[in-house]
Amino acid sequence: MPERAVRVVISGRVQGVGFRAFIAREVARRQVVGWVRNRRNSTVEAVFIGEQDEVQDLVALCHDGPGPADVSEVSVTEYVGPALTRFTELPTE
């Protein structure tokens, strides 16, 4: 299966509801690298790099998020950036 690299921006009520921790838990179950962070504009941004099926599963999970989240939009674009070797939670930008 080919590798896929995407940047995802999740909008709605996605901060203060455990969204980053939710993403980190889901990534830990897969062979995916990248990062997740809150943005000052109240969105959550993530990069997922891995097997296409695993990346697609993570993108699908972003549409729901953890229980208290209320996702209004998920924007997905191809990730073009430095190579990554692990998954990290980054500070708010």
User: Taking 80 as the threshold, does the pLDDT of residue 16 lie above it?
Assistant: yes
State the Cα–Cα distance between residues 70 and 49, nearest whole angstrom: 25
Q: What would you measure as the largest C-alpha separation in the chain, in angstroms? A: 36
Q: Is the pLDDT of residue 2 over 90?
A: no
- 20-53 b/e with 16+ CB inside 10 Å = b? bebbbebbeebebbbbbbbeeeebbbbbbbbeee
Q: Supply the residues annotated as catalytic.
A: 20, 38
**77-81: average pLDDT:** 95
What is the SS3 assignment for 7?
strand
Nearest to 9 by CA among 35, 46, 38, 36: 46
Residue 68's pLDDT band (cuts 50, 70, 90)? very high
> Percent of the chain, pLDDT > 70?
98
Which of the four pLDDT bands, split at 50, 70 and 90, describes residue 44?
Answer: very high
pLDDT at 62: 98
3-89 folds as Alpha-Beta Plaits (3.30.70)
Tell me 23's DSSP state.
H
Q: Give mean pLDDT, residues 56-81.
A: 97
Tokens of 9: 């921006």
**Phi, psi angles (nearest 5°) of residue 66:** -70, 165
Q: Evaluate if residue 1 carries a pLDDT over 80.
A: no
pTM over 0.85, yes/no = yes
